[in-house]
Structure 1
Amino acid sequence: MKNKYLPTSISLYLNYLIVGMSIIILPQNMDALASQWHTTLAGVAIVISAVGLGRMFISLISGVLSDRFGRQLMIRLGTILTIIFFAGALLSRSLYLAIGFAVLGGIGGAALDSGTYPALMEMFPQHQSIANVVLKAFVAIGQFILPLLISVMVLNRLWYGWSFVLALVILALNIFCLFRFAKFPDDQPATAKKAVTATTPMQHPGNLWIDGVLFAIFGYTADGIFLLVSIWITKYGQTVVQMNDTQARSLVSYYSAGSIICVLVTIWLSHRGVQDIQFLMAYMLTSLVALTILYLFPTPLISTIMAFVVGFSAAGGVMQIALTIMASFFPNGKGTITGLVTTASSVASFTVNVFAGMMANNIANIILFDVGLAAIGFVATILITMRYHYIFGKPSQQLVAKP
């Protein structure tokens, strides 16, 4: 609480509350937006994909820019572009214009990632993984709040655009705070390196070609795992498990609850000395086991429990933990390596949906595909763990965070 960057971090977390809303605000308003943009639901789906394309093409570049020009610039730019995205999507009257604003929204999201993750690691050098995992909690809260808000609006026959307006108001207040009051650490590699080596003394340097490829594979699989479950778990419940509509939709709620609870558990265990690399291994193994059980035993009770477990293990901050670990491998290039991993996850967000669409005639195959992704991700995690112990030495030689 004595950290001078705490007010700035609150502003960054609020940004990611809106990021959580932005992920689902277009799907939640598909019918209204299709009418406004003079297109079909397929056209709206193209706009949603355009967000991922914008993020995919710019993630690595934005990471390099973050290391070169500082975190403040990328965070402010990302917030401004996110404002433009919300306003543009709400005001557009054509499909092509909406696609253009969606691409800008994806670029804004990439800029926010490349600036926010490294900034939080530098603001809280003794609690880097916790600072990043809390971002995931705010994303989950945003995704939890928005459907409830839209449901209330539908019941009261209110204009769908008020959800966009709410996000714009929060972002406008936040951008004012970022320009007027926010304080950021000095973006000096020596400072960053000192902060990291103070907690994880490095015995061997990280190798971009080895470690970078491993984390890129992890980023792809980790993003694909939770993306497939969050999109297809309702359909899986309806068609494979034979749950009614209400029960199937509730699987998403259990999934989101698992995500939020995981953040709290991770923070609690981290303060008691559990290391980031241990979280990574445990969560990926849990995801693999849970998805396998979900596929093999499609009953209502098992599906409900496993939806919660997958949300806990795959969507509760495992990606943020991985980013923190990789940043410790390369302390002088946090923005660049963040861009590398988020590029891989952005590719996943686009391609796994294409693969899943090809399997849509049998939803069970999509869950089996997710099991395959989890298996690949777990193998990558084993190799990352081996590299981690090679670079930083045996666990007994590492300094453990104080409770």
Structure 2
Amino acid sequence: MSNNPPNQIKRVRLSISLYLNYVAHGFGLLILSQNMTALGQSWHAPLKIVSFVISGIGIGRLLAYLITGYLADKFSRKFFVYLGMACYLTFALATPFAKNVYFAYFLAVLAGIANSALDAGTYTTFAEMGSQKSNILLKAAVSLGEFILPIEVASLNGRWFGISFMTMAAILLVNALLLAPLKFPAPQQKNAAVSAGQQQVSKKKLLATVCFVLYGYASMALMIWFTQWVTMFGQKQGFSLASSHLFLSLYSIGSITGVFCLFAILGKVSGQRLLIFMNLAASSAIAVMLVSQTAWLTALAAFVFGLTAASGIMQTGLNAFMNLYPSRKGLATGVFYFFGALASFTVPIITGVLSDVSIQLAFGSDLFIGLLASCLGLAINWALKPAEAKQAVQVKA
């Protein structure tokens, strides 16, 4: 074993710092929506306008993912991690003091750019460390931030709302100091020699690329679709308001449980096969919810959906996509998450139109997305099977 203890310690320290950034990112995802009333008062704007400002985060992602992904392969990964931290720090420090909607919208766009820069630098860094399984745990770090923030906001109890923003800023500042002395791994270079077998699968590689890009959209849409409509669907099915909210809570518990289950399984089961199994299981859970007449069965299905669709299966798809382009990991990340951001922008519009027909249709159409994700997983598995048989990908924790 050539890994000496000092190097291993540095890898662990680097991993912890990268996870800390995603705890702050968990704050960033919810911090505007958790402080909507206070922000509206500060900007002298109604809640509808505050909601519009929140949409700026999605615009920032759409604007930045392709650019940061492409440039992450040209410059150091550390630069993009620090760029994401700097953008998030500016957002956290300035938003409580913003006095108009225009500046606040600019800061929200900056938060979206921060998200894309962090993804471009972080996912690729874990891949270069030979630790793509660790990408799955980033979702757990985000969930931790999303868990802490609402508790902190609720505990402020009339005190200045900006304290939650300052907590986010403090995490980033402390982490910037922890990260400064650490070296990031050098990008792996693609082997110049291309075998005849690799040339033969070029068309399949193109098919896999198209499917991965579409999977970036479908895997994000699957989760957003569910979380946006499950509570209203539960009420329309005749369940109580408490039960309907419980479905979303059980989805979240399933998601966190699934992250650790997936982390344990991933080294033993092919990532491509997991894309098929997990999305089929998620589709089955939605089908059960559509026909269920009992709260306990619907609650169980909501948990199973979180366990499968929101367990990190999107990150598993990204890992496999990066393996397909070992010298273009940053660009692969940018393209994959660009389509994920496109889903977060378009799904509310699509489901809003469907809800005019019925809430059941708006929620139930997620079954189509789950089946689409399953079919994409099947196509990816078929396209990559020859390469997989030749060279088994070993993923180290």
Q: Structure 1: which amino acid aligns with 2:151?
A: L
Aligned to 1:74: 80
Matches within 5 A, 1:225-244: 225-244=222-241
Aligned equivalents of 1:206 and 1:21: distance in 2?
42
Matches within 5 A, 1:249-398: 249-271=245-267, 273-297=268-292, 299-361=294-356, 362-393=358-389, 398=392
Note the C-alpha offset of 1:389: 0.4
2:146 to 139, 143, 146: 143
* Cα deviation digits, residues 288-322 of structure 1 (max 9, x gap): 11112112225321221122111111111011101
Aligned equivalents of 1:54 and 1:225: distance in 2?
21
Aligned equivalents of 2:66 and 2:396: distance in 1?
34
Matches within 5 A, 1:42-81: 42-81=48-87
Aligned to 1:92: 98
Q: Structure 2: which amino acid aligns with 1:23?
A: L
Q: 1:368 to 1:277 in 2, by over 3 A?
A: same
Q: 1:5 to 1:224 in 2, by over 3 A?
A: same
Q: Give the 3-state SS of the residue equivalent to 2:161 in structure 1.
A: coil
Matches within 5 A, 1:170-189: 170-178=171-179, 180-189=180-189
Q: Structure 2: which amino acid aligns with 1:147?
A: P
Q: Give the 3-state SS of the residue equivalent to 1:398 in structure 2.
A: coil
Matches within 5 A, 1:158-169: 158-169=159-170
Note the C-alpha offset of 1:250: 2.5
* Cα deviation digits, residues 236-291 of structure 1 (max 9, x gap): 223334322x33323222111111111111122234x2221222211111111111
**Do the aligned partners of 1:241 and 1:299 also contact (CA within 8 Å) in 2?**
no
Q: Structure 1: which amino acid aligns with 2:183?
A: K
Q: 1:90 to 1:284 in 2, by over 3 A?
A: same
Q: 1:109 to 1:400 in 2, by over 3 A?
A: closer
Aligned equivalents of 2:247 and 2:160: distance in 1?
28
Aligned to 2:28: 22
1:210 aligned onto 2:207: yes
Q: Structure 2: which amino acid aligns with 1:131?
A: S
Q: 1:82 to 1:298 in 2, by over 3 A?
A: farther
Note the C-alpha offset of 1:367: 1.3
- Which deviates more, 217-226 or 24-33? 24-33
Q: Structure 1: which amino acid aligns with 2:164?
A: S
Note the C-alpha offset of 1:218: 0.6
- What RMSD in Å do the two structures reach over aligned CA positions? 2.3
Q: 1:14 to 1:241 in 2, by over 3 A?
A: farther
Matches within 5 A, 1:116-155: 116-123=122-129, 125=130, 127-128=131-132, 130-153=133-156
Question: TM-score, normalised on structure 2?
Answer: 0.91
**Do the aligned partners of 1:203 and 1:392 also contact (CA within 8 Å) in 2?**
no
Aligned equivalents of 1:221 and 1:378: distance in 2?
9
Aligned equivalents of 2:211 and 2:249: distance in 1?
32
**Do the aligned partners of 1:203 and 1:393 also contact (CA within 8 Å) in 2?**
no
* Cα deviation digits, residues 88-124 of structure 1 (max 9, x gap): 322211111111111111111111111100001112x
Q: 1:402 to 1:188 in 2, by over 3 A?
A: closer
Q: 1:143 to 1:269 in 2, by over 3 A?
A: same
Runs of 5+ consecutive residues of structure 1 not aligned to the other structure: 195-200
Q: 1:61 to 1:401 in 2, by over 3 A?
A: closer
Q: Give the 3-state SS of the residue equivalent to 1:380 in structure 2.
A: helix
Q: 1:218 to 1:159 in 2, by over 3 A?
A: same
**Do the aligned partners of 1:118 and 1:335 also contact (CA within 8 Å) in 2?**
yes
Q: Structure 1: which amino acid aligns with 2:187?
A: D
Aligned equivalents of 1:89 and 1:233: distance in 2?
31
**Do the aligned partners of 2:205 and 2:384 also contact (CA within 8 Å) in 1?**
no
Aligned equivalents of 2:293 and 2:216: distance in 1?
28
Note the C-alpha offset of 1:212: 2.4
Q: 1:402 to 1:67 in 2, by over 3 A?
A: closer
Aligned to 1:35: 41
Note the C-alpha offset of 1:377: 1.2
Runs of 5+ consecutive residues of structure 2 not aligned to the other structure: 193-197
Q: 1:111 to 1:400 in 2, by over 3 A?
A: closer
* Cα deviation digits, residues 125-149 of structure 1 (max 9, x gap): 1x41x21000011111212222222
Note the C-alpha offset of 1:152: 2.5
Aligned equivalents of 1:103 and 1:211: distance in 2?
32
Question: TM-score, normalised on structure 1?
Answer: 0.89
Aligned equivalents of 1:81 and 1:206: distance in 2?
40
Q: 1:202 to 1:167 in 2, by over 3 A?
A: farther
Q: 1:109 to 1:296 in 2, by over 3 A?
A: same
Aligned residues: 385
Task: Give the share of equivalent positions with the same residue, in percent.
Answer: 32
